[in-house]
Structure 1
Amino acid sequence: MRWDGNRESENVEDRRGDGGGGGFGFGGRSIGLGTIVVALVASYFLGVSPMTVLNVLTGGAPSAVQVQQGPAASPPASDQMTKFVSTVLADTEDTWTEIFRAQGENYEKPRLVLFSGSTPTACGTGQSAAGPFYCPGDQKIYIDLSFYRLMQQRFNVSGEFAQAYVIAHEVGHHVQHLMGISDKVDNARRRTSEAQANALSVRLELQADCFAGVWAHHADRARSILETGDVEAALNAASAIGDDALQRQAQGHVVPDSFTHGTSAQRIRWFRRGIENGQLTTCNTFEAKQL
């Protein structure tokens, strides 16, 4: 991926070194070590709490979160990985600003928070194992950069564009928030069964994958960021984190009604649709008859 020398975002907040906390508990539930490891890595890709992934894999009930405020912002460090995520964030800013402007709307840029251990967010305490996740309460993306290493070790997914795809997916959730899509889905989920609520979550996540592809489409046309093998790396990442792949690895079988992010094939299909067409209208997963 070509990114070195491009603009870096000013909307990066570095909380690393603020203390953080240890791990997290799983209550009295009996969960195998393999399942926990899969949940930790999957949560990084999926942008949700490890507890949420464990609930998908084991059928448990979701846990509540408490609203908290984060510490004061501090300037980011100047290491290579920090420069990378800052540049990717800037690229998403430029792309989505242009897309929103073309529709006569203003794009509100999210902030990206670097942390280690744990950190307070408006969506509850963010854990380092939760990796990139988006919190609509404060419109911030939270990232523990050290987990990029674990994603490569566990799923053999590497490459800068695969890492950029993860950030772009979370930015996709921010776009959904600005467009009012997330609120509509949350309201609908409260009035449906668990299986129906999960199905709505799948459509929301697949749309975020498609939005990530839309970003890549426009960014490459404007700045030629893609190199040979980049798209394949992102597709490999999408394939590795499908609900079916994760469940099969953790428990040997799949439970479709518990899916919340879509199958590997679905995630690949919607990311590919976004990157090939570059149009928001092609990302309407909620009216698609077949995902």
Structure 2
Amino acid sequence: MSNSLYEAGVIPAVSCRLPTALLTTKSAVGRFAQVMTGCLSAAWRPVLGRVSGETFVPPGVFAVDEGHPTPCGPVEDDDYAFYCGANLGIYFDWEMFAAVDEGDRLDTEIDLMDMVAHEYGHHMQLLSRIDERYELRYDDTTGEARLRLTRRMELQANCFAAAFLGANRRPLKLTGDRLEYLMFAIEAGDDPEAGPADHGSEESNRYWGRAAFKSGSPQSCNTWSAPVDRVK
């Protein structure tokens, strides 16, 4: 048994049958997110089981309205999806992932899929105690050093998401246009005009996302030992 998530091997492919209803209502969006979270739990549980001393607990997932209170603060425009470690919950503004009509199906499904997988990556950071080391270092940094630390955390969560999605590309039907749009979503970087550079550039997200999608393993996601130019 390994003592590191980076040595835990390939994420297994699981049986994952996502709902086919168009994501036009809160209930439809919420149901899709719940099933997606179940698929993620089925895949990540045995991976964490290979890491000594860690216990698996599934997260909750909550499709809510803007302004909804959580133990980690309200869901707002500038932070419409996040993982709350205080109660192991994934919260998101459901309207940000709702479809207007059939023409929006591909974009909304893939965006929702990618978001849930990313926030689940933060859950895995908590369960494997990566977040404890992050918190200890965060308090001792400021300015660009703190932003770089946060980018390592966010790039890793995105990398964990890509590893799961790559390992499960068949059950999730990630081919053709769906795969093309997913890679666009995985590789999306910080918008310099929208706020601090805390989630990584397009170049950095592409580097970590592509490697993890190909390997299907968290082994590709050790952003903490990467040089500065890989976490821009």
TM-score bracket, normalised by the shorter chain, equals 0.7 to 0.9
Q: Which amino acid aligns with 1:92?
A: L
Pick from 235, 243, 247 the counterpart of residue 192 of structure 2: 247
Aligned-residue offset at 1:127? 2.8
Please tell me whether the aligned partners of residues 98 and 108 of structure 2 are also in contact (alpha carbons under 8 angstroms): no
Please tell me whether the aligned partners of residues 26 and 63 of structure 2 are also in contact (alpha carbons under 8 angstroms): no
SS in 2 for 1:134: strand
Corresponding position of 2:4: none
Aligned-residue offset at 1:239? 4.1
Unaligned runs of 5+ residues in structure 2 are 1-15, 100-105
Please tell me whether the aligned partners of residues 113 and 140 of structure 1 are also in contact (alpha carbons under 8 angstroms): yes
Corresponding position of 1:227: 175
If you compute each CA radius of gyration, which structure gives the higher value, 1 or 2? 1
Assess, with a 3 A threshold, how the Cα gap between structure 1 residues 82 and 194 changes in structure 2: closer, same or farther: same
Q: Which amino acid aligns with 1:231?
A: L
Q: Which amino acid aligns with 1:169?
A: H
Q: Which amino acid aligns with 1:88?
A: M
Offset from partner CA, 1:116-154 (integer Å, 9 cap, x none): 13222221233365222111111101011101259xxxx
Please tell me whether the aligned partners of residues 172 and 208 of structure 1 are also in contact (alpha carbons under 8 angstroms): yes
Q: Which amino acid aligns with 2:192?
A: Q
Corresponding position of 1:200: 149
1:284 and 2:229 are equivalent in the alignment: no
Please tell me whether the aligned partners of residues 131 and 144 of structure 1 are also in contact (alpha carbons under 8 angstroms): yes
Unaligned runs of 5+ residues in structure 1 are 7-76, 151-156, 252-257
Offset from partner CA, 1:41-89 (integer Å, 9 cap, x none): xxxxxxxxxxxxxxxxxxxxxxxxxxxxxxxxxxxx9843232212211
Please tell me whether the aligned partners of residues 113 and 143 of structure 1 are also in contact (alpha carbons under 8 angstroms): yes
Aligned-residue offset at 1:268? 2.1
Corresponding position of 1:101: 49
Using structure 2 for the length normalisation, give the TM-score: 0.77
Please tell me whether the aligned partners of residues 3 and 225 of structure 1 are also in contact (alpha carbons under 8 angstroms): no
Offset from partner CA, 1:194-249 (integer Å, 9 cap, x none): 2101100011110001100111123236x353232223212222444x12xx125x
SS in 1 for 2:199: coil
Aligned residue pair count: 203
Offset from partner CA, 1:237-287 (integer Å, 9 cap, x none): 2444x12xx125x59xxxxxx521110121122121211111212100011
Corresponding position of 2:86: 137
Please tell me whether the aligned partners of residues 18 and 36 of structure 2 are also in contact (alpha carbons under 8 angstroms): no
Corresponding position of 2:198: 260
Please tell me whether the aligned partners of residues 97 and 111 of structure 2 are also in contact (alpha carbons under 8 angstroms): no
Assess, with a 3 A threshold, how the Cα gap between structure 1 residues 144 and 189 changes in structure 2: closer, same or farther: same
SS in 2 for 1:259: coil
Q: Which amino acid aligns with 2:205?
A: R
SS in 2 for 1:236: helix
Corresponding position of 1:63: none
Corresponding position of 1:271: 209
Distance 2:156 2:185 in 1: 16
SS in 1 for 2:132: helix
Distance 2:141 2:77 in 1: 32
Q: CA RMSD in A?
A: 2.6
1:86 and 2:34 are equivalent in the alignment: yes
Please tell me whether the aligned partners of residues 49 and 55 of structure 2 are also in contact (alpha carbons under 8 angstroms): yes
Assess, with a 3 A threshold, how the Cα gap between structure 1 residues 288 and 5 changes in structure 2: closer, same or farther: same
Please tell me whether the aligned partners of residues 29 and 98 of structure 2 are also in contact (alpha carbons under 8 angstroms): no
SS in 1 for 2:69: strand
Corresponding position of 1:185: 134
